[in-house]
Amino acid sequence: MSNEPTKTSKEAASPPRKPSPARRRRGRPQAGAASGDELSELIVAAAAQVYAQQGYHASSVEQIIQAAGTSRPTFYRYFKDRYAVIDVVVGRVNDRLTAYLADAIGSAADFPTLLECVVDAYFEWLQDIGPLGAPIANEIHDPASPASAHRERILQEIMELFLACPIDVSGVTTEPLLYEAAIHLVEHLGQNIFWPVPLTQAQRQQRRAIILQALHGMLQEPRPK
């Protein structure tokens, strides 16, 4: 005879119990299994999306956490406020510009070619960053936006790249204000090439030619008569 206890009819008819699902802890991210650096990067990517659509002043932490699919406590675990995370977004975008320009300057054999490479690199960067170009361009003179602080840094980096260029720059100005003015000009004429409505290829080439003509006139010293 078996020593096993006999199940009652009620117990025999009852299906086995399934384990209860674990309760979500407060503040736990909803963004899948992301954690640590991955979660931080997820928030940065969401901030980039919100910033591109809304700009700095119209964006909020709530919009960012909604886009990231995470929670407010999780956001504040990694970033102090919306300025801090958008600062990361803008900083990375500007670092890409510095990298593009450094490659362009390093590949030039003479000053006219240098200007062409730099303008082409700037156009490539604008196309690469897409919608992020709009709020950055709109806010470069807004002290409340991270775009303004980063612009001062990028201006200095660009001027240093130009002045340290190894090619023959005889007859080229070393006046920093002229380089700053040249950067202003390129920004003004180039920033709306790809947004809100992309220019045609013919229009881009015309804009490129005008920018190069202006740069030659600004940065090359007049020849003695």
Measured CA to CA, the distance from residue 190 to residue 111 in angstroms comes to 20
pLDDT of amino acid 32: 52
Give the residue among 62, 61, 73 at the shortest CA–CA distance from 24: 73
User: DSSP assignment, residue 47?
Assistant: H
Q: Encode pLDDT of 178-224 as tens digits.
A: 888 998 899 899 988 988 889 999 999 999 999 999 999 999 887 66
Q: Is residue 80 pLDDT above 70, yes or no? A: yes
Measured CA to CA, the distance from residue 121 to residue 170 in angstroms comes to 23
How far the first Cα of the chain sits from its last, in Å, is 122
Express as a percent the part of the chain with pLDDT over 90.
58
Tokens of 12: 């025999």
Four-way CATH pick for 87-219: 1.10.3470, 3.30.300, 3.40.50, 1.10.357: 1.10.357
3-state helix, strand, coil in the chain (%, to 5): 65, 0, 35
Contact of 70 with 31, CB cutoff 8 Å: yes
Considering just the CA atoms, what is the radius of gyration of the chain in Å? 28
- Domain limits of the chain? 30-79, 87-219
Q: Encode pLDDT of 136-160 as tens digits.
A: 999 999 999 999 999 888 888 888 8
Q: What is the DSSP string of 130-168?
A: GGGHHHHHHHTT-TTSHHHHHHHHHHHHHHHHHHT--S-
pLDDT of amino acid 52: 96
Give the residue among 13, 82, 15 at the shortest CA–CA distance from 43: 82
Compute φ and ψ for 60, nearest 5 degrees. Answer: -150, 160
- Residue 111 contacts by C-beta under 8 Å, 6 or more apart in sequence? 167, 168, 169, 171, 172, 219, 220
Indicate the CATH number for domain 30-79: 1.10.10.60
Measured CA to CA, the distance from residue 191 to residue 97 in angstroms comes to 13
